[in-house]
Amino acid sequence: MFSPTAPILITGAGQRVGLHCAKQLLAAGFSVIVSYRTDKPGVQALRELGATALYADFSTEAGILDFIERLKSHTDCLRAIVHNASAWLAETPGTETSAFAQMFSVHMLAPYLINLHCRALLLRSSPADIVHISDDVTRKGSSKHIAYCATKAGLDSLTLSFAAQLAPHIKVNGIAPALLMFNPDDDAAYRAKALAKSALGFEPGAEVIYQSLRYLLDNPYVTGTTLTVNGGRHVK
């Protein structure tokens, strides 16, 4: 039985892009479930707006499976899953293996297991979507952040594989952003250098990802695609 009010799950929605997308979806009338690892002010703000907030530690298999079970206790259907949770860990001497393992778990194992175990929940909604938030860096690689880039590239591969497996009932797509929002402590020199990497040359903010997400949710004829949202870095 299809549910017209099935909630959208957004992982890692306590700040920045995930928080913005969750707020916009709530404002648009969607029911929203968010996961968080740290109970930041943004998580409480989402609760106050009506979202269901579930703790999740995606750095281990046990943490992922525990989250899935608690998610199923809150809902028996999902309109969409937005895999936004991300880890950015330094690959310093002596920490390479642990850094890679944690980023693999967050960027690949968590989406992989959640997609597999929550397929039945998505099948109770029509339409139904999975959206993987990747990174534009996978387009050319990264000499400084090899593990981060590799595990995000693996997420791009999951987009293609799950799109093939879950069609025609569930659409699976990705979004690959470049710079979206500076941090408060980014100095002027860094900001200028970063902006110069794109053809459009400005800081767009999180709204462009919400617009991309809505396109993927609203368009019935797009699957297996990763949208590049990078201000034209690939033509610069």
List the catalytic residues: 148
Q: Please, is 25 exposed, middle or buried when counting C-beta atoms within 10 Å of its C-beta (0-12, 13-18, 19+)?
A: buried
Decide: helix, strand or coil at residue 136.
helix
- Residue 114 DSSP SS3: helix
Q: Measure the CA–CA gap between 210 and 8, rounded to whole angstroms.
A: 13
Strand (E) or helix (H) holding 91: none
Task: Please say whether the beta carbons of 88 and 68 come within 8 A.
Answer: no
- What letters, b where the CB count within 10 A reaches 16 and e where it falls short, cover 80-93? bbbbbbbbebebee
> Strand pairing partners for 131?
82, 173
DSSP label of 97: H
For residues 234 and 220, what is the distance between their CA atoms, to the nearest angstrom?
27
